[in-house]
Amino acid sequence: MSGIVWLFLALAIVAEVTGTMSLRMAVRSNKAWYVSVVLSYLFAFTMLALTINGGMALGVAYGIWTAIGVALTAILGRLLFKEPFTWLMALGIALVMFGVILIETGAVHCFPPALAPGPLPELAWPGYGLRRARRAGLLSRAARSPGRGAGGAGATHPTSTASSSRPPDHSSSSRLIASPHDRT
């Protein structure tokens, strides 16, 4: 995952917190702050979409976005609006962040793809989605066609004998993971 994905996520967090702070200002004082609310949230969701499109798992991206957003919103609410910030709130924020860490490590350290059940273990492994499989050439041309998922017509296992638009490459460095059929 490239650094640009993390930049998109950071921008999404900043925009979301800006939108939330603007919402507080719009409720308290001038209704013109609603313009900032709408623009900030549009930008935040655009950046979040780019983060997910860049390869970060949805649960991880949304978890980080939420945890940091909640923490910043609570802290800024205390600093800017004199809202309460108790030790119990701090504990809740810490637990949310701990949960995000568990989600992040769970997404990275899943079971090995060769041990995954099903005919396409690399697609069943949460760390490797359809997008990565398509980029790596693990699906046939028919499975990459719009409107056809991994289970659609033409989807084949990378080492199967079904016809494909390109011959299978059996070198271990050219694929993301080894197939169970490659065991010796």
Render pLDDT for 10-42 as a digit per residue (tens, 0 to 9). 999 999 999 999 999 999 989 999 999 999 999
Asked whether the predicted pLDDT for residue 47 surpasses 80, the reply is yes
Consecutive H or E run containing 75: helix 58-81
Q: Residue 30 has what DSSP assignment?
A: -
What is the rounded CA–CA span in Å between residue 58 and residue 77? 27
| Nearest to 113, CA basis, from 97, 125, 99, 129 | 125
Render pLDDT for 108-154 as a digit per residue (tens, 0 to 9). Answer: 544 444 444 444 444 444 544 556 656 666 555 554 445 544 444 44
Nearest to 105 by CA among 127, 85, 122, 84: 127
Residue that the structure tokens 């949460």 belong to: 126
What's the predicted TM-score (pTM) here? 0.57
Residue 17, token pair as written in the block: 């917190």
> How confident is the model over 53-84, as pLDDT tens digits?
999 988 889 989 999 999 999 999 999 999 99
Burial class (CB in 10 A: 0-12, 13-18, 19+), 79: exposed
